[in-house]
């Protein structure tokens, strides 16, 4: 017997063995109803833009009157309907280009889950319904604003989106029309500085979105949005700087104009002036995000950026004290 045979053999230790879980079987995604697909295509998250109808009545301090507030809420809902109609039409026209976008290719029409004919029919019905409701709600000027918004959106989808610079102005105008609609239904006269501020704030938002798309899509940018091939990075940044500058300057002039009016009525002047601070901080915060390659979706920033939300709450608090305190 060799010495190796005399050494006791070490038995392997029997410790706890790891539990092996069975591999889950992933089946096809659950089917989504046609109604669910239509709701997705209506882009409910973008209804946040329609809150602009509250701007003019809130700035005028008339939202404390229940009948005025009811009309403004009705205007908000009508704009949600007409905007959803234009989104459906836009998705049908842009389905081919949306398939080249990393996010938009999942939209119901672009992905093939929703039939283009159905989307187009529902979109047209929503637009017609919104215009009819605007005529019923009154005044007639509100119906004109809603019809103008729908016509401008359709013209943008069919042609104007291919025209550099003009397409920026058209999209910004759609933002401004929302703010104008709020003043019309609340019978509030819109000051010159309010219109200048709203116009350039809208241009700032739209240009920021183009800057993010330009950087994100890279060499594929012209396939998704043809007009991006007509822009350069330096042009978009220059436009963004101009829009941000005029936005801040016009807001300051509007705020100081408001304090002059409130001074005669015993209003709390200093609170209106202080709203300039969160406004400027918000603009700088958005510029920082855009410079870092973020901020391409305005509604996503508004819903997910807690810093910007904090500035917004501060602004609302100061404007509320100044106008309603």
Token duo for residue 288 = 């920082």
* pTM confidence score: 0.81
Tell me the C-alpha distance between 278 and 228, whole Å: 32
Note the Cα 126 to chain centre separation in Å: 20
Q: Are 231 and 166 in contact, with CB atoms under 8 Å apart? A: no
Tell me the C-alpha distance between 281 and 244, whole Å: 12
Q: Are 220 and 201 in contact, with CB atoms under 8 Å apart? A: no
Collect all residues with Cβ–Cβ distance below 8 Å to 35 and sequence separation of at least 6: none
What pLDDT score does 27 carry?
38
Nearest partner of 76 among 179, 190, 147, judged by Cα? 179
DSSP-derived secondary structure letter, 7: S
- In the three-class reduction of DSSP (H, G, I as helix; E, B as strand; rest coil), residue 60 is classed as helix
Tell me the C-alpha distance between 236 and 243, whole Å: 10
Collect all residues with Cβ–Cβ distance below 8 Å to 162 and sequence separation of at least 6: 226, 227
Report how far apart, in Å, the C-alpha atoms of 31 and of each of 28, 120, 186, 220 are: 9, 22, 44, 31
Q: Are 102 and 81 in contact, with CB atoms under 8 Å apart? A: no
Tell me the C-alpha distance between 236 and 223, whole Å: 19
Tell me the C-alpha distance between 213 and 100, whole Å: 12
Q: Are 172 and 152 in contact, with CB atoms under 8 Å apart? A: no
End-to-end Cα, the chain, rounded Å = 102
DSSP-derived secondary structure letter, 295: -
Collect all residues with Cβ–Cβ distance below 8 Å to 281 and sequence separation of at least 6: 311
What are the pLDDT tens digits along the chain (325 aa)? 444 445 455 544 454 454 444 444 433 444 568 888 888 888 888 888 899 999 989 888 788 788 889 999 999 999 999 999 999 999 898 888 878 777 788 888 888 888 989 999 999 999 999 999 999 987 899 999 999 999 999 999 998 988 999 999 999 999 999 999 999 999 988 888 999 999 999 999 999 988 888 888 777 776 777 888 889 889 999 999 999 999 999 999 988 877 655 554 444 468 888 999 999 999 999 999 888 777 667 777 888 889 999 999 999 898 888 877 6
């Amino acid at each position: 017997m060799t010495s190796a045979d005399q050494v006791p053999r070490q038995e392997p230790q029997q410790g706890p063995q790891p539990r092996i879980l069975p591999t889950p079987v992933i089946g096809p995604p659950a089917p989504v109803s046609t109604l669910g697909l239509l709701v997705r295509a209506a882009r409910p998250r973008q209804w946040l833009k329609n809150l602009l109808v509250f701007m003019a009545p809130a700035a005028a301090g008339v939202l404390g009157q229940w009948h005025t507030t009811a009309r403004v809420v009705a205007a908000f809902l009508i704009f949600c309907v007409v905007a959803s109609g234009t989104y459906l039409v836009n998705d049908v026209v842009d389905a081919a280009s949306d398939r080249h976008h990393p996010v938009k290719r999942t939209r119901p029409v672009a992905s093939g889950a929703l039939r283009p004919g159905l989307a187009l029919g529902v979109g047209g019905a929503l637009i017609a319904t919104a215009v009819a409701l605007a005529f019923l709600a009154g005044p007639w000027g509100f119906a004109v604003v809603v019809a103008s918004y729908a016509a401008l959106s359709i013209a943008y989808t069919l042609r104007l989106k291919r025209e550099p610079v003009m397409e920026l102005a058209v999209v910004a105008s759609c933002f401004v029309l929302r703010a104008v609609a709020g003043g019309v239904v609340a019978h509030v006269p819109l000051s010159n500085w309010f219109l200048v501020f709203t116009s350039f704030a809208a241009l700032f938002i739209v240009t920021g979105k183009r800057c993010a798309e330009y950087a994100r899509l890279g060499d594929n940018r012209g396939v998704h949005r043809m007009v991006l091939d007509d822009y350069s990075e330096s042009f978009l940044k220059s436009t963004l700087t101009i829009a941000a500058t005029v936005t801040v300057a016009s807001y300051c002039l509007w705020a100081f104009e408001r304090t002059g009016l409130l001074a005669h009525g015993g209003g709390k002047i200093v609170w209106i002036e202080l709203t300039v601070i969160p406004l400027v901080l918000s603009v700088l915060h958005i510029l920082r995000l855009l410079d870092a390659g973020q901020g391409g979706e305005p509604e996503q920033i508004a819903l997910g950026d807690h810093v910007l939300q904090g500035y917004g709450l501060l602004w609302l608090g100061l404007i509320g004290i100044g106008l309603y305190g």
